[in-house]
Homo-oligomer: A and B are copies of this chain.
Amino acid sequence: MTRNQQILLDNRPQGEATESNFRLVTAEVPALQDGQVLVRHHYLSLDPYMRGRMNDSKSYADAQPLGEVMIGGTVGEVVESRNPKFARGDQVVGMGGWQEYSVVDGDAPGMLRKVDTTHVPLSHYLGAVGMPGVTAWYGLVKIIAPKAGETVVVSAATGAVGSAFAALAKARGCRVVGIAGGPDKCRYATEELGFDVCIDYREHGDIKAMSRALKEACPDGIDGYFENVGGYILDAVLLRANAFARVAVCGMIAGYDGQPLPLQNPALILINRMKIEGFIVSEHMEVWPEALKELGTLVGSGKLRPRETVAQGLAAAPGAFLGLLKGRNFGKQLVKITP
């Protein structure tokens, strides 16, 4: 039998998440039933949304059940198949979870998808050409819907979503301003990711300082904002928003530990006649083919060169995940599962 290391959610965070919320166990891979496929994971994706699932509160998705394998996107290869649609050696993307292997019903729609690694490295299907990339695409194209020449801003600028956002917005003729933590990330944003300007939030740690930095970075005001973090940055953006500005709310990572983060002056929504819209990309599957096609072309042509931070081995996943929540990753955070 094949041994399968797994990480379960053992207990829910009281405030901040910690490594003790997780538990590493070893199970055995069961024998395949007809129609099933056994996938060996090469990479596990770590994403901020997972923090929300760890809570038991009402949210857009069901809470992660205790004692079960943590959910998560994975890429890997088929090592055994009892389904005619998949063959040993196929490279696939799916939601295999925090474990070395997963057994998947190969007939369930959307559960497992074969991918082509001729022009796009396998791991990128968890990032720029996967859920984070489509997230950037949906918020930019469907909510912000910018015109050429408009100014758009994104927080968590060097992350998987932010870097895809920059490439997509530049392709539409926008001025693109990023917000990231620290000089290295900001330099990378402008030198490698195509941002026109990147603001270091560590140097602009309150609404007044951030508002001043945004004024300088956005001389024509802000037409669109892609929200990944929440808190005072959104307050500052509202102060610099143009009439009819649009805000796509994708994440509010700053509030995941339970403390509410008030929006200081919602009257600006009226004064600026703004639209603020929250979304979850998994509820808009109809856009994925169009979005993935554009993202794949951007990566294949070198216009989007996403950076990755790779933790080694499944046991490193909890620590890497907690680092992600604190912005310690640089680019897409992955865990390499295979040695």
> Once the chains bind, are A266 and B277 in contact (CB under 8 Å)?
no
Report A216-271 residues with CB < 8 Å from chain B CB.
230, 234, 243, 249-252, 255, 260-267, 269-271
A residues contacting the other copy or chain, number (CB 8 A): 32
Q: Which of A25-33, A196-204, A278-286 sits within the interface? A: A278-286
> Once the chains bind, are B264 and A273 in contact (CB under 8 Å)?
no
> Once the chains bind, are B276 and A276 in contact (CB under 8 Å)?
yes
Taking CB atoms, residues of chain B closer than 8 Å to A262 are 262-266
A243-B60, A262-B266, A267-B255 known; A283 and B278 CB under 8 Å?
no
A260-B264, A263-B263, A275-B276 known; A251 and B270 CB under 8 Å?
yes
Q: How far apart sit A230 and B269, CA to CA, in the bound complex (Å)?
A: 11
> Once the chains bind, are A270 and B250 in contact (CB under 8 Å)?
yes
Taking CB atoms, residues of chain B closer than 8 Å to A250 are 270
> Once the chains bind, are B58 and A266 in contact (CB under 8 Å)?
no
Taking CB atoms, residues of chain B closer than 8 Å to A14 are none
Taking CB atoms, residues of chain B closer than 8 Å to A267 are 230, 252, 255, 260-261
CB distance from A53 to the nearest CB of B (A): 12
Closest B residue to A283 using CB positions: B273
Report A56-86 residues with CB < 8 Å from chain B CB.
58-60
Cβ of A213 under 8 Å from chain B: no
Closest B residue to A279 using CB positions: B273
Interface-centre pick from A249, A267, A269, A279 (highest chain B CB count, 10 A): A267
A266: contacting residue among B243, B263, B270, B271, CB under 8 A: B263
Cβ of A272 under 8 Å from chain B: yes
> Once the chains bind, are B279 and A277 in contact (CB under 8 Å)?
no
CB distance from A283 to the nearest CB of B (A): 7
> Once the chains bind, are B273 and A60 in contact (CB under 8 Å)?
yes
Known: A60-B272, A273-B279, A275-B277. 19 other contacts (CB 8 A): A60-B270, A60-B273, A249-B266, A249-B270, A252-B266, A255-B267, A260-B265, A262-B262, A262-B266, A269-B276, A269-B278, A270-B279, A270-B280, A273-B277, A273-B278, A273-B283, A274-B277, A275-B276, A275-B278
7 closest A-B pairs (Cβ-Cβ)? A270-B278, A262-B262, A263-B263, A260-B265, A263-B266, A269-B278, A252-B267
Spell out A's residues near B (CB within 8 Å): 58-60, 230, 234, 243, 249-252, 255, 260-267, 269-280, 283
22 contacts between A and B (CB under 8 A): A58-B271, A60-B271, A60-B273, A230-B266, A249-B266, A250-B270, A252-B267, A252-B270, A261-B266, A262-B263, A262-B266, A269-B277, A270-B278, A270-B280, A271-B278, A273-B278, A273-B279, A275-B275, A275-B276, A275-B278, A276-B276, A276-B277
